[in-house]
Amino acid sequence: MSAYDAFAPVYDRWFPEVADVPFYVELAREADGPVVELAVGTGRVAAVVARETGKRVIGVDSSPAMLARARETGADLDLRLGDMRDFALETKAALVYCPARSLLHLPTWEDKLRVFRRVHEALRPGGRFAFNAFVFDYTVAARVEGDHPDAPVPHTVAHSPAESRVDLTLHETGAHVSLWWATRNEWAGLAQTAGFETEALYGDFERTPFGVESREFVWVLRKPE
């Protein structure tokens, strides 16, 4: 049983139209070797990647209910139940990606570093690690604190700035998940400590260079040759 099982029936409603799918599809097209998605969830991204590239995508997730949804897509997915902090591959990958800000579900810097090191070990030389995460904006946090939006799914938002955490609670079931945000320097430190080079940092999925107005981190890291 996973805390994310309760979100499986409504998960895709959080992402009706998100520009991340074409971005990750393009990276997968460029990958000369196995492709892995961490926190694959319902297969929202992986199913499209598999269909549009003709490649089988290895998907890792800790939620049995999410993986059950992913199987229903009918896409060519190799779905594996497990914690991304512990994942390992039999064959080195050319691309590992983690969409939907999923690395923010890891509470500590050490948890994130553990994933970065696992990814580094799983990649072949020259392989890529791509992911996205929101840029914390105190003005946005103040505006939505305690909010009870009905869309895309009725939920409540609450922030804990001292812990760099935001909590999302579903109204219907009371289920909740937390995300722990990180700064640009923290992400860069994780990459460097794990042995990655930064290929690119974008501010959106249209590959706009990251700047002072950016509100999304879109990182593409590379394992050195």
Torsions phi, psi for 105 (to 5 deg): -80, -5
Q: What is the pLDDT of residue 169?
A: 86
When the pLDDT of each residue in the chain is averaged and rounded to a whole number, the result is 92
Burial of 200 (0-12, 13-18, 19+ CB in 10 A): middle
CA distance 183 to 207: 19
| Residue 149 pLDDT exceeds 70 | no
| Residue 154 pLDDT exceeds 90 | no
pLDDT digits (tens, 9 = 90+) for 12-27: 877 766 789 999 999 9
Band of pLDDT at residue 184, cut at 50, 70 and 90: very high
Band of pLDDT at residue 174, cut at 50, 70 and 90: confident
CATH tag, 5-134+182-222: 3.40.50.150
| Residue 112 pLDDT exceeds 90 | yes
CA distance 190 to 114: 9
Q: What is the mean pLDDT of residues 151-164?
A: 84
